[in-house]
Structure 1
């Protein structure tokens, strides 16, 4: 059975994120992002080069762990956790990526600091089944 466009886009975004954020293979990552990439994030410089150069400047421990990937039409949403960026708390992020012609063309995100058990008013972890201090 052939993959739907949404399944192909989810696979593309998953591979792109892993290649850039976890493998740190910058040359290979370029093939996933459009040369005309549009960046809407308040945390990331504009364009494909802005994104890749920002990642190059992060510590080697920087990682992305996807938890949920959903797609509708040309848009993929990834809910995940970014850690090892050198800040006090990991980030829980919802990334929204528009795919065009098999490339990541446009990006938006919502970023939130992951909280400890003590700071969680709900008493539940924000990511997975454990709090960051228990990992």
Structure 2
């Protein structure tokens, strides 16, 4: 078996980041996989690695009113050069049947630079209260 392609290496970095940061809430994974000048295109999160570190803190010490997004299961990864797209299955609230869910799909796209995740896009809609806001008492 030959050496891995750039695309294979980048896809592995993205999958390892997702497991370490989102599933495990590991601050070291943020530092290992996320570029310090990280650019975020999700309306609920500002740019910058420090905001991903804050998210990990929330994952590990959830405030009582913090509602994390539904769990995503990886379906497919597609890579082209420095771009990696992940496609997920995710339970979504059913707007026609209150209290029930259906399986929908979501995507994330990343741009890597020198082996680090530099930029992120996804299909997220604006939340009533973004992750980065502190609750006013």
TM value normalised by structure 2: 0.67
Structure 1 28/3 Cα, relative in aligned 2: closer, same or farther at 3 Å? same
Aligned-pair CA distance for 1:22: 0.8
Contact 1:21 1:64 (8 Å CA) reproduced = no
What's the Cα RMSD here? 2.6
TM value normalised by structure 1: 0.68
Structure 1 runs not aligned, ≥5 long: 113-135
Contact 1:18 1:64 (8 Å CA) reproduced = no
Structure 1 22/95 Cα, relative in aligned 2: closer, same or farther at 3 Å? same
Report which structure shows greater RCO (CA 8 Å, sep ≥6).
Answer: 2
Match of residue 118 from structure 2 = 105
Structure 2 runs not aligned, ≥5 long: 92-98, 126-137
- Which aligned pairs between 1:1-135 and structure 2 lie closer than 5 A? 1-58=2-59, 59=62, 63-81=71-89, 92-111=105-124
Aligned-pair CA distance for 1:38: 0.6
**Secondary structure, counterpart of 2:86 in structure 1:** strand
Structure 1 92/56 Cα, relative in aligned 2: closer, same or farther at 3 Å? farther
Q: Number of residue pairs matched?
A: 108
